Amino acid sequence: MATAWFRFHGELHGFLPRARRGESFSHVCARAATLKNAVEALGVPHTEAARLLVNGLPATLDRIVREGDQVEVYPWERQPVQAPPRFIADAHLGGLGRFLRMLGYDTIHQNALPDAEIRRLAWEERRVVLTRDRELLKCREIHLGCYVHERKPEAQLREVAARFDLGAHARPFTLCLACNVELAPASEAQVRAYAPPEVLEHHRVFHRCAGCERIYWEGSHFARMKAVLLDEVGVRVASQQK
């Protein structure tokens, strides 16, 4: 076993007991423990550690902890990912998942999706896992993840948008909010089968989801959703109606 000194910075304090926040403290690590093992034993998921310094030098999570090491751990400010990122939101982040689909980001969300399936999809499809479950983010299958600190969907969107620079690759209102399937222009027959007569009278542009067959148009909700995207992400959405 090795005793090392740790100090966590920024929002990583939220994972620690109050007595350890903003302070350097000693921790006895298991035999041959890596920095990943040690950091997670102290309560911080490896996905939240953006940068590590050991004795003043850059280090990776795979480094073995040695006696007397001085470890500094820093949080992400902006995290680089493949462009555009694909997400998977756990059962408690349905509102956030809907907002991400609204921005055009491929986002898996199901209320009954088990953790094992989340880990599998994260590994096989290289998805970013969004969750408020810190233990889930400690799983080795999850390389890209984000612990969502905020509790309200609009604030969660702002938090995730800042970390992954979502404004850069947004394609607003191109995905079905229910199915996550790409929308396509709807034919007149498809629209007449689903849209009320008063909608047909006032709107000219419609889109359809091939998965659930929902029809989308720029109703009163569209202005509210546009305002959220502008306020929280800075994305402007132009109307397609003529």
Given this model, what pLDDT does residue 70 score? 98
Given this model, what pLDDT does residue 241 score? 61
Given this model, what pLDDT does residue 242 score? 54
Q: Using alpha carbons, list the distances in angstroms from residue 96 to 27, 84, 151, 212.
A: 36, 17, 10, 21
Give the total number of structural domains in the chain. Answer: 3
**d(Cα 100, Cα 108) in Å, to the nearest integer?**
10
Residue 197 sits in the same domain as residue 223: yes
- The domain in which residue 33 lies consists of 2-74
Residue 241: inside a domain, yes or no?
Answer: no
Residue 62: inside a domain, yes or no?
Answer: yes
Residue 104: inside a domain, yes or no?
Answer: yes
Boundary (domain end) residue, out of 120, 140, 168: 168
Q: Which two tokens stand for residue 171?
A: 């394609």
Count Cα neighbours of 128 within 13 Å in the Cβ-side half-sphere: 24
The tens digit of pLDDT for each residue in 172-212 reads 999 999 999 999 998 877 887 777 777 777 777 889 998 89
Given this model, what pLDDT does residue 157 score? 95
**3-class DSSP state of 70:** strand
Phi and psi angles of residue 239, each rounded to the nearest 5 degrees, phi first: -70, 145
Residue segments in the chain with a per-residue pLDDT below the cut of 70: 240-242
The tens digit of pLDDT for each residue in 53-65 reads 999 999 999 999 9
Give the residue among 23, 62, 61, 20 at the shortest CA–CA distance from 42.
Answer: 20
> 161, 167 in Cβ contact below 8 A?
yes
Residue 66: inside a domain, yes or no?
Answer: yes
Max CA separation in the chain (angstroms) = 75
